[in-house]
Amino acid sequence: MEIKELVLKTLKESPEPLKPRDIALKANVDKKDVDKAIKELKKENLIISPKRCYYAAR
């Protein structure tokens, strides 16, 4: 599974918004990769940031 898909899946399964570090821990991937995936997912309008440094799936 691609990192982007993994990040989106992790966010969809979470009941509350997550920080990139928490996403990395839950998905068992490097935080740098999570940061890149978040940037791409935001461009694609698949995730939102309800508050600073927290992310959630649309």
Supply the range of the domain harboring residue 24. 3-57
CATH number at 45 reads 1.10.10.10
Secondary structure of the chain in HEC code, one letter for each residue? CCHHHHHHHHHHHCCCCECHHHHHHHHCCCHHHHHHHHHHHHHCCCEECCCCCCEEEC
Give the pTM: 0.90
Report the pLDDT value the prediction gives residue 40, as an integer from 0 to 100.
96
User: pLDDT digits over 21-58, tens only?
Assistant: 999 999 999 999 999 999 999 999 999 999 999 999 99
Q: Which residue type does 11 have?
A: L
Total number of domains in the chain: 1
